[in-house]
């Protein structure tokens, strides 16, 4: 007797996709709970965690922000290997404004966000024509190049970096500013990709010549996506600069490029929720494994391999399917 797995959409999913969702509490809950979970979860976490884990939550949020910014680019057909460029650009801009011009963090962070995004877009403008691996290579090289420029010309503190920057008012302030920013970016990006603007970006990913053939200037749309993603990354950098009260060459390190990608892939590429989920899994894991000393990287790598082999679609896609569908075994032949 052979059996096969049958998947059926929950009826409630169909019913709750329209105004009719307002008919019953059950349907409203079904629809709203996945959206409320990150909001409530983050605020509850900020209360219950110890000081050490609050610091971890801070870096989790930063990696999550970089991961969803990576995902936005990936969904628009630009695979980037250089989130560190966005991060480092924001970090250095904020530090320069604070150290040399004496601006307060309340001014440097927004300014670094906007101009960080702008500078990254301008830097990458010449390579917007490149696709796939060629674009990825350039994004990988740029942050490495900037590090060498800083090292060789000894500008902005050279290898020493700039220290003694103005801190943010309190650790609670730090925590909430990054949580609010992360949630705003997360829900904002989701809405953006759901709009017709997002549809054009997805079209560019799918078939850019066809979009060109619709009379749309794809480079203008790609530049806008790059600016949005770059700004999100630059915000993370500017924020961390003021948290650490220091900026140095490590902000351009490969970690800030690779970790967000790993988070997005493990969590489920193509969905912002997946990218965020991945960050919330990988960063704390790396903290827990700290006790293992030298073997930490080995176990970490092993974990990544296991997850990618077992769930190549990503954890979030798996959870999403379980949430939206029934599964049952049905007989196909006797």
Only segment of 145-153, 160-168, 205-213, 251-259 that touches other proteins (CB under 8 A)? 205-213
Residue of 78, 109, 175, 211 interacting with other proteins (CB under 8 A): 211
Of 211 and 249, CB closest to other proteins: 211
Is 200 near other proteins (CB under 8 A)? Answer: yes
- Binding residue for other proteins (CB under 8 A) from 206, 301, 313, 332? 206
Among 148, 207, 288, 321, binds other proteins (CB under 8 A): 207
- Determine, following the binding rule CB under 8 A, whether residue 214 of this chain makes contact with other proteins: yes
Looking only at the bridges linking them, the beta strands covering 162-163 and 246-247 are antiparallel
Range in contact with other proteins (rule: CB under 8 A) among 60-68, 115-123, 215-223, 246-254: 215-223
Retrieve residue 31's tokens: 């629809």
Instruction: Find the shortest distance in angstroms from Cβ 213 to other proteins.
Output: 6
Minimum Å distance from CB 182 to other proteins?
Answer: 27
Report the nearest approach of other proteins to the CB of residue 309 (Å).
25
Report whether 39 contacts 183 (CB < 8 A): yes
Containing 181, the helix (H) or strand (E) segment is: helix 171-194
Residues in the chain: 334
Q: Among residues 9 and 151, whose Cβ is nearest to other proteins?
A: 9
Among 40, 122, 125, 199, binds other proteins (CB under 8 A): 199
Q: Does 104 bind other proteins (CB under 8 A)?
A: no
Q: How far is the CB of 51 from other proteins (least distance, A)?
A: 45
Q: What's the rounded Cα separation, in Å, for the pair 303 and 288?
A: 13
Helix, strand, coil: what percent of the chain each, to 5? 80, 5, 15
Q: How many residues bind other proteins (CB under 8 A)?
A: 17
Stretch that binds other proteins, among 150-158, 203-211, 275-283, 293-301 (CB under 8 A): 203-211
User: Does 24 participate in binding other proteins (rule CB under 8 A)?
Assistant: no
Minimum CB separation from other proteins for residue 219, in Å? 9
Cα 50 from Cα 58, distance rounded (Å): 12
Paired tokens of 227: 């600016």
Closer by beta carbon to other proteins, 200 or else 245: 200
Q: Which of 2, 4, 5, 209 binds other proteins (CB under 8 A)?
A: 209
User: Which CB, 199 or 298, lies closer to other proteins?
Assistant: 199
Residue whose CB is less far from other proteins, 15 or 55:
15
* Binding-site string for other proteins from residue 167 to residue 196, where x marks contact by CB under 8 A and - marks none: -----------------------------x
Binding mask 218-257 for other proteins (x = CB under 8 A): x---------------------------------------
What's the CA gap between 90 and 73, in Å, rounded?
A: 18
Which residues make up the interface to other proteins (CB under 8 A)?
Answer: 196, 199-200, 202-203, 206-207, 209-218
């Amino acid at each position: 007797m052979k059996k096969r797995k049958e998947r059926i959409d929950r009826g409630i999913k169909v019913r709750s996709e329209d105004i009719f969702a307002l008919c019953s509490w059950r349907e409203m809950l079904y629809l709203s709970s996945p959206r409320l979970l990150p909001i409530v979860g983050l605020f509850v976490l900020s209360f219950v965690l110890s000081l050490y884990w609050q610091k971890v939550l801070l870096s989790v949020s930063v990696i999550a922000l970089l991961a969803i910014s990576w995902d936005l680019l990936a969904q628009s057909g630009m695979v980037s290997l250089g989130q560190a460029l966005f991060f480092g650009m924001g970090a250095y801009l904020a530090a320069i404004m604070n150290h040399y011009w004496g601006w307060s963090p309340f001014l440097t962070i927004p300014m670094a966000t906007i101009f960080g995004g702008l500078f990254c877009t301008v830097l990458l403008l010449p390579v917007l024509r490149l696709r796939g691996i060629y674009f990825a290579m350039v994004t990988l090289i740029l942050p490495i190049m900037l590090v060498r420029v800083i090292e060789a010309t000894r500008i902005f503190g050279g290898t020493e970096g700039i220290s003694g920057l103005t801190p943010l008012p309190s650790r609670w302030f730090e925590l909430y500013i990054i949580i609010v920013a992360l949630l705003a970016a997360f829900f904002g990006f989701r809405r953006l990709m759901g709009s017709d603007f997002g549809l054009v970006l997805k079209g560019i990913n799918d078939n850019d010549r066809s979009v060109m053939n619709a009379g749309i200037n794809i480079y203008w749309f790609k530049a806008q996506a790059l600016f949005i993603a770059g700004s999100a990354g630059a915000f993370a950098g500017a924020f961390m600069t003021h948290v650490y009260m220091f900026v140095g060459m490590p902000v351009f390190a490969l970690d800030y490029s690779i970790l967000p990608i790993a988070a997005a892939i493990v969590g489920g590429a193509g969905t912002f929720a997946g990218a965020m989920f991945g960050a919330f899994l990988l960063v704390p894991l790396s903290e827990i494994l700290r006790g293992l000393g030298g073997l930490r990287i080995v176990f970490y790598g092993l974990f990544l391999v296991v997850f990618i082999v077992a769930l190549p679609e990503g954890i979030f896609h798996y959870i999403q399917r379980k949430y939206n569908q029934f599964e049952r075994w049905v007989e196909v032949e006797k």
